[in-house]
Amino acid sequence: MHKNPTYLIKQEAYRLGFEYVGVSKAAFLEEEAKNLEEWLKRGYHGQMHYMANHFDKRLDPTKLVDGAKSVVSLLYNYHTTAQQSDAEAPKISTYAYGKDYHFVLKKKLKTLMQFIQTEIGEVNGRVFVDSAPVMERAWAAKSGLGWIGKHSLLINKNKGSFFFLAELIIDLELEADSPIKDYCGTCTRCIDACPTDAIVGNKIVDGSKCISYLTIELRDALPNEFANKMDNWMFGCDVCQAVCPWNRFAEQHQEPAFDPHPDLLKMNRREWQEITKDVFNEIFRKSAVKRTKYEGLKRNISFLNQKK
């Protein structure tokens, strides 16, 4: 059996369905520290107060795992060509079509962690799926899985950006991968297409203007300045990814858990406007849409019908 731990971990991750796996040394993220501080200072996190918490933990993996040596970054494809059948229906981001990715990926990561402890030895660590203060895009870029696009999302040269990101932070020294260059060039399609002008600079998103933030994170009433600017999104937004030229390489995911409830794509505009709590609970039983709750989704849908 191949004894190289880096190789073993990557092979097992591929077996579990992760498309790309990269490794970086667990060290303080200096450049990101400056950027995060500036971003917070400008109030771009809106009401996502948790973004200002655990500043040190976000930037230093050894504060999350004692003696951390390596950060293993993993990408899991969620791209789909399936679309809602009514073009007038309020839209939902494709990442939320199926079962909540937190559950799906966490289970796989725990299996990977068990594999490491069984096959490699006593290794301590933690698994993360968008669930703790981890700068996941920065780590993925450091480990060569892609580069950060102008819309601030990670872009993979072979398959685009429709990926969930996950990490293992472990106290085992692995062979680190190298970052790759930025291939956005002079393209500004994502900046030009953003319905609320939320991309305010290269790789800088004013979160408080982002449709995903407004429809999911914001608990208050939606600000009137965004009436008629929501591009008919009721949960999340895929515009900056949809216009990105790199996503012409995106492929259909192979994860049955991410397939939508059969009724989700069939519902027409009127049915969404009249959605009941029972229908909401049935369609979104194990979905990330639960995050916004029935009342939140209703708020978003009625806001879309509002005229400025």
| Distance separating alpha carbons of residues 308 and 234, to the nearest angstrom | 17
CA angle 4, 146, 11 (to 5 degrees): 25
Query: Quick check: is 130 catalytic?
Result: yes
137-193: per-residue pLDDT in tens?
A: 999 999 999 999 999 999 999 999 999 999 999 999 999 999 999 999 999 999 999
User: At residue 75, does pLDDT exceed 90?
Assistant: yes
CA 203: distance to chain centroid? 15
- In degrees and rounded to multiples of 5, residue 127 shows phi and psi of -110, 145
113-128: per-residue pLDDT in tens?
A: 999 999 999 999 999 9
User: 136, 105 in Cβ contact below 8 A?
Assistant: no
The helix (run of H) or strand (run of E) holding residue 190 is: helix 189-193
Closest C-alpha to 268, from 279, 257, 282? 279
Residue 146 Ramachandran class (φ > 0 left, ψ -120 to 50 alpha, else beta): left
108: its two tokens = 């796989």
What is the pLDDT at residue 130?
Answer: 85
User: At residue 260, does pLDDT exceed 60?
Assistant: yes
The helix (run of H) or strand (run of E) holding residue 193 is: helix 189-193
Domain spans in the chain, listed from the N-terminal domain onward: 5-80+96-170, 189-249+258-304
Catalytic residue among 60, 130, 171, 182: 130
What is the pLDDT at residue 307?
Answer: 60
Q: What is the mean pLDDT of residues 25-40?
A: 94
pTM for the whole structure: 0.95
C-alpha distances in Å from residue 8, one per residue of 1, 21, 124, 181: 9, 12, 17, 27
Confidence of residue 133 (pLDDT cuts 50, 70, 90): confident
Give percent of the chain above pLDDT 70.
99
User: At residue 1, does pLDDT exceed 70?
Assistant: no
